[in-house]
Structure 1
Amino acid sequence: MLEIIATNLTDVKDAERYGADRIELSPAMSELGITPSYGLIQAAVESVRIPINVIIRPHSQSFVYNADDLEVMKRDIKMVKKLGANGIVVGALTKEGAVDIEFISNLLEVADGLEVTIHRAFDFSRNQIEALESLKQVPEITTILTAGGNYNAPEAVEQINELIDMASRTHLSIMVGHGLRVDSFEKFFQSTKPDFVHFGSGARKNDSFDYGLDETKIKTIKEIIAST
C-alpha cells in the first residue's frame, strides 16, 4: 500500500487521481504536521473515495503533551470520527523519551472504530525496540510509521528490517517513510519490503512540500511496489 501525505484539498484530489492507496492529511509539514482544520477534513472526506487518516497534533513544540493537550486532541479525534475519516495518526513521548502509553491509551478512549497509526514520534523515542514492545500492549494501534530512527529511511535499512521482523509477530504493521526518493526507492524497497510505504516530499515536484504532487513520480512508485 502506498500512503501519500496531503497538506491541502488539491493534494487530496491529486493523490487519489495519481494512484495513492491512502492519504495522511497533515498540513504544516515544515513543523512535522499539525492537526488540520474542520473544513479541510470535511472537504477531503467528501472529495475522494480512498481512506484518509488525519494527524492529531495540537502544536509543534514537542511530542511531550500535558492535560490541556489531551483535552484538545480528544476533541479533535471526536471531530475526525464525526466527519467520517478512516483513521487518526497520533503519538506521544514521556519527558524521559519513552513512548507515552498512558497518554496514547487515553486518546484512544474516544477513537473507537478509527484506524490508528503511530507517527514519527516513534523515531524520536529513546529506544525503538523498547517503544515497539510498549505499543504491542495497545491492540487498537494498527500501524507504526518509521524511518528506523531520526534518519532518512534509506540510511536505516538494518533497523527497519529488525522492526519489521518484530512487528510480524504482533498485530502491528510497519509503514516506512521519511527521506524516500524515487531514484533510490527500488533498491530500498527490495531491501526491506515493508507492509506500507509512506511518501511525503519525495512524491512532489522538486522533492519539496513547496510544490504539488508529481503524477509521474507516484506512478513510478506504484510500479516499483507492484513489480517487486
Structure 2
Amino acid sequence: MELEIITLNETDTLQVERLGATRVELVSAMQEGGLTPSYGTIKNVLATASIPVQIMVRPHSDGFVYNETDWKTIKEDLLAIKSLGGNRIVFGALTDVGHIDETLLNKVIECVPDFDITFHRAFDDARSQVEAYHILNKYKHHVKRILTSGGKPNAIDGIDNLRQLIQLSKQLNGPKILVGSGVKPGNLEELHNELQATEYHIGSGVRLNQDFSKDLDAVKMKQVTSYLF
C-alpha cells in the first residue's frame, strides 16, 4: 500500500517520512492548487529524503491547457529536476476541448524518458475519465499512475467512478489509480473498504486544522498509517 502525502519543503518531507508515509508529492503554492516548487526547494528535498519524491510540474494555475511558452517553462523545469537527480514528476495537460494533450505528453516523455510520471487531477477535468484513461494507458511505461477523485470534487463523491477506474486499471494492467482529494483519517476506512485501492494521496487531511499554512498533525498521520499498514 502506498501512502503519498503532499509536502511543501524539506522540513515537511522529513517529518512525513518519519511518520510513515511511503512517498511524497512536493509542491508549492497550494492556495493555487499546487505549482512547481523552486529549484532550491527541490534540491534540498532530494538531497535529504529517503522515500520517493514526486515533484509537481505545473507552470501556472490558469487551468491545464498549455501553449508553447508554457512548454518552454515546463521543459526547463524538467531539465532542472533531472540535473538535481530527480526522476519522478506529477504532470497533466489537456487540450482546449478537454482531451488528454498527447502532443505535450509526448514532448515531456521525449525530454525525460526515464521519469516516473503521475498524471495529476487535470484528469478530472477531462470530458470523459474512461476515454482519458484509455489514452493514458498507451503511455503506461511512463505514466505509472493517475491522481484522481473520479471526476468529482472529492474522492467520497467520486467513489462510483473511482471503482470503475480501478477495475479498468486492473483489466488493462494500466496506470494505477491514486485516490486523492478530500482524503483524511475520518473517511479513509470508508474509501478503502469501498475501493480497495493500492495508493492513496492526502494533503490538508493530515495538517493541523486542515490548513496548509499549519504544521503536519502527527496524530492524524499515525491514524492513516496505522490503518493502511
The alpha carbon displacement at 1:33 in A equals: 0.7
TM-superposition CA deviations, 1:137-170 (whole Å, max 9, x none): 1131101000111321011111001000101123
Runs of 4+ in 1 over 6 A off after TM superposition: none
Query: Of residues 157, 160, 168 in structure 1, which corresponds to 2:159?
Result: 157
The alignment covers a number of residue pairs equal to: 226
- Report the alpha carbon displacement of residue 86 of structure 1 after superposing the two structures with TM: 3.8
Write the letter of the residue equivalent to 1:31.
E
Deviation, 1:31, is 0.9
- Partners of 1:130 and 1:30 in 2: CA distance: 30
Q: Partners of 1:204 and 1:15 in 2: how far apart?
A: 11
CA distance in 1, matches of 2:87, 2:174: 18
Question: What SS does the aligned partner of 1:175 have?
Answer: strand
Extract unaligned runs of 5+ from structure 1.
none
Question: Which structure 2 residues correspond to residues 57-206 of structure 1 after superposition, within 5 A?
Answer: 57-138=58-139, 139-168=141-170, 169-206=172-209
CA–CA separation in structure 2 for the residues paired with 1:181 and 1:49: 24
For the pair 1:219 / 2:222, whether they are aligned, the reply is yes
Report the TM-score, using the length of structure 1 for normalisation: 0.96
Report the identity percentage: 38
Letter in 2 for 1:185: L
How far, CA to CA, are the matches of 2:194 and 2:167 in structure 1? 13
Contact 1:51–1:86 (CA under 8 A) maintained in structure 2: no
Unpaired stretches in structure 2, ≥5 consecutive residues: none
Shift of 1:185: 1.4
Secondary structure of 1:130's counterpart equals helix
CA-based RMSD of the aligned residues comes to: 1.1
